Amino acid sequence: MPDISHEFVCVGCADRSGPCREFETAQHWALGHSGRNPSHTTYRETIHRYWQTAMVD
């Protein structure tokens, strides 16, 4: 089963971190993006978690 992934998307310009296994990697991207673009201060985070189900009698 795939790992959990995190992705940040800048609301100001739609630039994105891309999927990252570690939250801190995606967060580092967002903080760096804000540093390079001081007016870009709002982000949307998407977390991908994978689920598996099984039938039970």
Per the domain annotation, does 10 fall within a domain? Answer: yes
Number of domains in the chain: 1
Phi, psi of 29 (to 5 degrees): -60, -50
Q: What are the tokens at 19? A: 């999927």
The range of the structural domain enclosing residue 37 comes to 5-48
pLDDT in tens, 14-48: 999 999 999 999 999 999 999 999 999 999 999 99
Per the domain annotation, does 18 fall within a domain? Answer: yes
**What is the pTM (predicted TM-score) of this model?**
0.83
pLDDT confidence tier of residue 2, bands split at 50, 70 and 90: confident
Neighbours of 55 (CB within 10 A): 4
Per the domain annotation, does 43 fall within a domain? Answer: yes
Per the domain annotation, does 15 fall within a domain? Answer: yes
DSSP state of 56: -
Per the domain annotation, does 55 fall within a domain? Answer: no
CA–CA dist 4, 55 (Å, integer):
24
Q: What are the tokens at 53? A: 């189900």
Per the domain annotation, does 56 fall within a domain? Answer: no
- Dihedral in degrees, nearest 10, Cα atoms 12, 17, 21, 26: -60
